[in-house]
Amino acid sequence: EVCKGVNGLEKIVLREVRGSSAELYFYGGHVTSWKNDHGEELLFLSSKAIFKPPKAIRGGIPICFPQFGSLGPLEQHGFARNRFWSIDNDPPPFPTNSSNKAFVDLILKPSEEDMKVWPHRYEFRLRVTLGPGGDLMLTSRIRNTNTDGKPFTFTFAYHTYFSVSDVSEVRVEGLETLDYLDNLRDKERFTEQGDAITFESEFDKIYLSTPTKIAILDHEKKRTFVLRKDGLPDAVVWNPWDKKAKAMADFGDDEYKHMLCVEAAAWAIGSSKGSPRGIAQADLVHPCTGSLAASG
């Protein structure tokens, strides 16, 4: 179902028989809402989010492509999150089974303007699926359509903003003992200790080569989110905390307490600064999946 959203921008609503739902905008191919079958919102969306190009929507699930972060030639997190995507009327067969599920297929291709800043041709197909249990799955397939067959590399993230009751009561499990690059310390490489991750100040880390399953435990709400990922080796965890929150025009001063970003990503390996993983060879279809389930 396509309808008008904020500022007249069009959005797609997916509904599942038991009552769960999801919403996504053509602008950014951006999921802005995911509700369980009790109608409870599971994603954070800022009350100050700006639904106006070229600003990316603050909250939900921005898609960072073809560059995650600011390391590289492009604007922070690339341009996929502030382009208008289209319905993909002719999606090739998908590796994942979507029968009996509510889903939509979107596609993004570069414009001539995009080619000036990132000179590669590609087809980026995104399928957003809402499963019968209310789980949400995003599958991205990025195909290199460069006519000369020249390979390109990119970095990527599903920049998911989870809604939590109080971030200082939240634990993240699955990242213990892993290596990470600390964005707050010039991307220096450290190793995480053995305990679940908790939050008491600004947090911005890229965990390298993580397990495919990460759990976010919201103690107060008695809710657990389980993030599963495939084809996305890394994971980014971010909370701006009070000072950065105040500095962001599209984010409420106290909203940091009620969100946590845990992002399935493909970022970097190697030295402490890392170099982007090369993941798109000529004419290769690269599926990366992130699925979210909530219980409690």
The set of catalytic residues is: 159, 263
Question: Residue with structure tokens 């996504």?
Answer: 24
Work out how close the CB of 125 gets to ligand BG6 at its nearest, in angstroms, rounded to a whole number: 23
Please work out the total of residues on this chain that contact ligand BG6, with binding judged by CB under 6 A. Answer: 11
42, 126, 137, 236: residue in contact with ligand BG6 (rule CB under 6 A) = 236
Residues 149, 282 contacting (CB under 8 angstroms) = yes
Work out how close the CB of 64 gets to ligand BG6 at its nearest, in angstroms, rounded to a whole number: 7
16, 204, 218, 255: residue in contact with ligand BG6 (rule CB under 6 A) = 204
Work out how close the CB of 15 gets to ligand BG6 at its nearest, in angstroms, rounded to a whole number: 28
Work out how close the CB of 160 gets to ligand BG6 at its nearest, in angstroms, rounded to a whole number: 10
Angle made by CA atoms 221, 225, 227, in degrees to the nearest 5: 165
Question: Residue with structure tokens 């982007």?
Answer: 276
φ, ψ of residue 258 in degrees (nearest 5): -110, 15
Residues 78-97 that bind ligand BG6 (CB under 6 A): none
By the rule CB under 6 A, 255 interacts with ligand BG6:
no
Name which of 122 and 180 has its Cβ closer to ligand BG6. Answer: 180
By the rule CB under 6 A, 238 interacts with ligand BG6:
yes
Name which of 43 and 104 has its Cβ closer to ligand BG6. Answer: 43
Residues 24, 32 contacting (CB under 8 angstroms) = yes
Work out how close the CB of 47 gets to ligand BG6 at its nearest, in angstroms, rounded to a whole number: 16
30, 125, 141, 159: residue in contact with ligand BG6 (rule CB under 6 A) = 159
| DSSP string computed for 99-139 | TTSEEEEEEE---HHHHHHS---EEEEEEEEE-TTS-EEEE
The secondary structure of residue 185, as a DSSP letter, is G
By the rule CB under 6 A, 77 interacts with ligand BG6:
yes
Question: Residue with structure tokens 């409690």?
Answer: 296
| DSSP string computed for 249-284 | TTS-TTGGGGEEEEEEEE-EESSSS-EE---B-TT-
φ, ψ of residue 10 in degrees (nearest 5): -80, 140
Which range, of 69-77, 123-131, 142-150, 160-168, touches ligand BG6 by CB under 6 A?
69-77
List residues near ligand BG6 by CB under 6 A. 56, 69, 76-77, 159, 183, 204, 236, 238, 261, 263
